[in-house]
Amino acid sequence: MDVHTDCLSADDSVGYAAAATDSRRTMRVGLFVTCLVDLMRPRVGFCALQLLEAAGAEVVVPHAQTCCGQPGYNSGDLTAARALARNLVGEFRDCDYVVVPSGSCAGMLRVHYPRLLGDDPEIAALAARTYELTDFLATVLPLSQPPGQFRGRITYHDSCSGLRELGVKTQPRTLLARLPGVELREMAEPETCCGFGGTFALKYGDISARLADDKCIQIEASGADAVVGGDLGCLLSIEGRLRRRGDMRTRVLHIAELLAGDGGDEPCK
């Protein structure tokens, strides 16, 4: 489908102006690991790192990064969100690009930081040079040969913020098509919310679990061996519901894990 019809129109999100980089030196990419990947599945961070390096970037991982502030922002605590946003902006000041293995956190930096922090050229510049991982690897610094070795049928869940705030739809599929062993089987309604919604999953667990259940039904009907997505929050919710339904077979993988690894549990290089 034409992704633009289902995205917020161009003026709703920040324009895609690429940061000016000097082509003679290596592109310096700051990896914002995200708090969920840091705590829950560090492998995703290492896979992202490996993919960015494979694409030719010099990757730095600022050490004092914690969280983008989205939980506070969406819970109405703008003071906390602003403080965390300023920290993050400072941490990534020296990077040509900020790349995030999450559409939700990338959307926070790209779309919401300028609203949260007001009219500040530094914020606008950071927003403009922030990319979701697959968006970056498909459009800014193309990764022609992902090293992933996964073989099997997969289905792709389009996480909401990446899809609707950043227009991430074709980018992961473009990259997946470069893996010879991967067969993409689209599930019905890949763009329907999985029900995670950050703190929503805790506050309204019953509604959240129902939406996750609807997603699991579509995943299982697709006949895929693995469900793949770009946001760990959604993936944890989907995996949790799949297992509770008794499905111990369907693998749940972040796209970075698929593009970089063999889909096994070994850490990425």
Partner 1 sequence: MQVTTLHFRRKAAENLANDQLQRALGRLKERFVGARAEALQDLPDFAQLREAAAAIRQHTLDHLDHYLERFEAEVIARGGTVHWAEDAQAVQRLVVEIARQHSAQRVVKSKSMVTEECAVNDALEAAGVEVMETDLGEYILQLAHEPPSHIVAPVVHKNKEDVADLFAQHHRRPRQTGIAELCREAREILRPHFLAADMGISGANFVIAETGSALIVTNEGNGRLATTLPRVHVAITGIEKVVPTLDDVSLLLRLLPRSATGQSITNYVSVLTGPKGAHDLDGPEHFHVILVDNGRSALLGTELEPMLRCIRCGACMNHCPVYQSIGGHAYGWVYPGPMGAVLTPSLVGLAEAIDLPNASTFCGACAVVCPVKIPLPDLMRTLRVRQLQQNLRPWRERLALRLWAWCAQRPRLYALLTALGARLLHLLGGRRGLIHRLPFAGGWTAGRDFPAPAGRTFRELYRARQPR
CB of 157 to partner 1, least distance (A): 12
* 260 contacts: CB under 8 Å, gap ≥ 6: 46, 47, 48, 50, 51, 54, 146, 147, 148, 268, 269
Q: What is the DSSP string of 49-69?
A: HHHHHHTTPEEE--TT----S
Instruction: Give the x/- contact pattern for partner 1 in 51-70, rule: CB under 8 A.
Output: ----------x-xxxxx-x-
Instruction: Give the x/- contact pattern for partner 1 in 222-241, rule: CB under 8 A.
Output: --------------xx-xxx
- Which one of residues 50, 102, 208, 222 is an interface residue with partner 1 (CB under 8 A)? 208
Is there binding between residue 33 and partner 1 (CB under 8 A)? yes
Is there binding between residue 267 and partner 1 (CB under 8 A)? yes
Is there binding between residue 93 and partner 1 (CB under 8 A)? no
Sign of the torsion angle spanned by Cα atoms 61, 132, 157, 76 = positive
Is there binding between residue 149 and partner 1 (CB under 8 A)? no
For tokens 């690897």, the residue is 137
How many chain residues interact with partner 1 (CB under 8 A)?
72
Cβ closer to partner 1: 82 or 185?
A: 82
Cβ closer to partner 1: 101 or 148?
A: 101
Is there binding between residue 188 and partner 1 (CB under 8 A)? no
Is there binding between residue 7 and partner 1 (CB under 8 A)? yes
* 244 contacts: CB under 8 Å, gap ≥ 6: none
CB atoms closer than 10 angstroms to residue 3: 15
Which is it for strands 152-157 and 130-132: parallel, antiparallel or unpaired? Answer: unpaired
